[in-house]
Chain A
Amino acid sequence: MQIDLRTVTIDPQRNTFDHLARRFGDKPASRYQEGSYDIQAAENLHYRPTWDPEQALYDTSITRIVLQDWYVLKDPRQYYYSTYTLARARQQETAEANFGFVESRGLGDAMAEELRDAALRVLVPLRHAAWGANQNNAFICGYGYGTAFTQPCMYHAMDNLGIAQYLSRLGLLLGDTEALDAAKQAWTEDRSWQPLRRYVEDSMALRDPFELFVAQNLVLDGLLYPLVYGRIVDDELSPRGASAVAMLTQFMSDWFDETRKWVDSVVKTAAAESDGNRAVLAEWIHDWRERAAAALLPIVELALGARADEAVAEQLTAFDARVAKTGVTL
């Protein structure tokens, strides 16, 4: 039996807010549109930042990328707070179940010590890199222009924090607090980790939000995630008996597949707007790509030894193909 809840039919006076009607016509707007478009103030800002009077409170000129309308950088996933949170809550349930499964069945202890050590050695220090990614995305959200571009960066920042915490939990599960201490020491002192730490610290000193987006979300993550979670965890450790590690990092793999679509779309849209943007993007990608590959090589070596060069080279080829699809020629 169907019960019609609509007891009265009243014709609405209008379908949506004016600023959305101007963009999309007078039709009902999606919640993503309502929650994203033009909700950042654009005019008559009152005071210039006392900490940098050269810039406006929201300022398109603090990046070298030039866009007529920053709302072209819409999120293909259409994430606003609610859709984002619901998506992550579902993934969090899966991650929780995976952690529970590995722990309750003692899969960590069942793993060969050599594999477990390899996993701890490669993965746990990455929690610090994820923390750097969190910082960088908070920055892009804070200083970038236009909600369509900046709100997914806030979600991304929180995801990066979540990933840092999942990696920490992995460390605790497979190696206890000593594993976290060892990882931190490796991150700050071991030679293998210094190029990556330097990359992260250098990126944190950037003040152009779009360059930071490229250096962190496109380049570093674009090489790190496939190398670590694809090449090392899925292709190397799992077949040798460490599928538990793949379970504990499923969130990261799924997350990378999902978020790269958004990252690509941002780069592609910015590149499509002008030759100038394409040139700037190419310059940034070129510079950071070299550095990222060099920074990741010694980490990949921790797991793959002499085969690391080949793995990184393969990944660079895949990355270049990905970049080519965005319309940027390196």
Chain B
Amino acid sequence: MDMKVQKKKLGMKERYRALTRDLGWEPSYRTKDELYPYVKYEGIRIHDWEKWEDPFRLTMDAYWKYQAEKERKFYAIIDAHAQNNGHLHITDARYLSALKIFLQAISPGEYCAHKGFARVGREFAGVGTQVACQMQAIDEIRHAQTQIHAMSNYNRYYDGFHAFADARDRIWYTSVARSFFDDAMSAGPFEFMIAIGFSFEYVLTNLLFVPFMSGAAYNGDMATVTFGFSAQSDEARHMTLGLECIKFMLEQDPENLPIVQAWIDKWFWRGFRVLGLVSTMMDYMLPKRVMSWREAFEIYGIENGGALFRDLARYGIRPPKGWEDAGKAIDHMSHQLMLGLYQWSFGTAFHSWIPSDEDMDWLSAKYPTTFDKYYRPRWNHIKKLAAEGKQYKNFGLAKLCQCCQLPTVFTEPDDPTLICHRETVYKGETYHFCSDGCQSVFEDEPEKYIQAWLPMPALFREQQGDIAAWMDWVSLRDGFDNGDYDGSRDQKHFKEWREIATSNR
């Protein structure tokens, strides 16, 4: 070849194609079925992997460069935060409950996502798709690690963080988030993409991260804000991947539509339930609140989600089946779940509390049609009991939903005074559900959901119902990690330390 000829200048797209897409080849020593055994497993038909459009044309040299810059900034701020007792700059230690839930339930989810994306980054049969998924896989372990590192400093001073790994595998409310990720990982590669890439990262992520990170900022938590900013550009990549993937499936073959639609129905509802934990955080756990769960859902759920589904309508996609029920639940779920967390607070590795009058006024302004009518009276009653020294605790065990794993504390979509309870008998066993959405998920795949690990029966099976033994088993230190914030060690320490920091003592 003649080297004197001026080299062709490749455009970004052609260069990416040459450096990435062109790396694969048609195997001939092994069949594609041997190399990609799960690609056809779910019935999704892909005719041409080449049609996959890479949302980001990032080569590894650029990836390392950009990510290293972000890492440097992140750890510089985290170190400064630890050096300067940044934990004393938060509004007050009640805020830490939100962080504790995050570390126990959400960070392990990041790890699952890492693992799952590594799998699909190998199982998909097209180079572009594989690389995009692999980049997400490595980003997700980044998120798990940066979150653990950001919260590590809080763990040194406050209760409730120390046993997050034990909590992840054994405690009841963490089972909500992990069953979601385990569900996705035990599905085939395409469903995993819809579950995590599309439903979680695209449709629901704003409802998790925007309130959470602005909540952190409002409450002076620079460590978490730093993580949030640092993760944001990764998230943008992940969102684009999720959307791209669903469009790819729908464009490849019209036969894919009903399969994809069923996954959207399933994963919207499952995601909505997981975010129930976030709703309590937004409405109750932030001392300084950004916006209500209701407002967040209106913006990120109804407006953004609505626009998305209008956009997908051209493929024949309709809004998810549980969409209307979700809309009806919005005015109730944070209150119902927080009341649940409060009454079972002996079994949580974070604190809860009775909202102050000022907090209740805020809630009533944000939930004008429901709070004063249904929830203020209950809180006032609980408050009265507490004043009489009879703090309201429910030592009975909650009935858990076989699907989402939350206690069945939610009400009928059209009757907020009636607990919603559904049952399905399968192979002679009765299974319980919190909603039509969860029941329908079960009934589509009963063989899968009968395997769910339910924490409450496990308490009886493994600990013979002995709550103290159970607390040891989940590494929950009674009197420190759990119960009411008022009178807690976190409250006492925070007050004491802040006084030292802000006075001449």
Contacts and interface: CB of A to CB of B under 8 A. Distances in A.
Interface of A: 5-8, 10, 12-19, 29, 31, 34-35, 38-51, 57-58, 80-82, 85-86, 88-89, 92-93, 95-96, 108-109, 113, 116, 127-128, 130-131, 134-135, 138-139, 141-143, 147, 150-151, 154-155, 157-159, 161-162, 164-166, 168-169, 172, 174-180, 184, 187-188, 197-198, 201-202, 204-205
A141 to B, nearest CB: 4
Interface string B443-480: 00100110111010010000000000000000100000
Interface stretch (B91-99, B164-172, B218-226, B363-371): B164-172
Interface of B: 1, 3-5, 7-8, 10, 18-20, 22-30, 34-35, 38, 41, 59-61, 63-65, 67-69, 71-72, 74-75, 80, 83-85, 88, 108, 111-112, 114-116, 118-119, 121-122, 127, 130-131, 134-135, 137-138, 141-142, 144-146, 148-149, 152, 155-159, 161-166, 168-170, 175, 178-179, 182-183, 185-188, 445, 448-449, 451-453, 455, 458, 475, 493, 497, 500-501
B118 A138 contact: yes
A40 B60 contact: no
B155 A177 contact: no
Given A57-B186, A116-B3, A138 B142 contact: no
A128 B121 contact: no
> Which has the most chain B C-beta neighbours within 10 Å: A17, A42, A202?
A17
> Which has the most chain B C-beta neighbours within 10 Å: A41, A44, A161?
A44
A86 B149 contact: no
25 contacts: A8-B85, A10-B500, A12-B157, A13-B158, A17-B161, A18-B162, A18-B475, A31-B149, A34-B149, A35-B148, A51-B38, A57-B182, A57-B185, A82-B71, A92-B64, A95-B61, A128-B24, A142-B137, A150-B115, A154-B138, A158-B63, A176-B1, A176-B5, A205-B30, A205-B34
Main secondary structure of the interface of A (DSSP, over half): helix
Contacts, number: 272
B443 to A, nearest CB: 16
A186 to B, nearest CB: 11
B131 A7 contact: no
A18 B166 contact: yes
Closest 8 CB pairs of A and B: A89-B68, A162-B60, A142-B119, A35-B145, A142-B118, A12-B156, A131-B23, A46-B182
Contact of B165 (A5, A18, A198): A18
Contacts of B164: 17
Given A154-B118, A165-B60, 17 more contacts: A16-B152, A41-B178, A44-B169, A48-B186, A82-B71, A86-B72, A88-B68, A109-B3, A127-B23, A130-B23, A142-B118, A157-B121, A158-B135, A161-B60, A166-B61, A172-B7, A204-B35
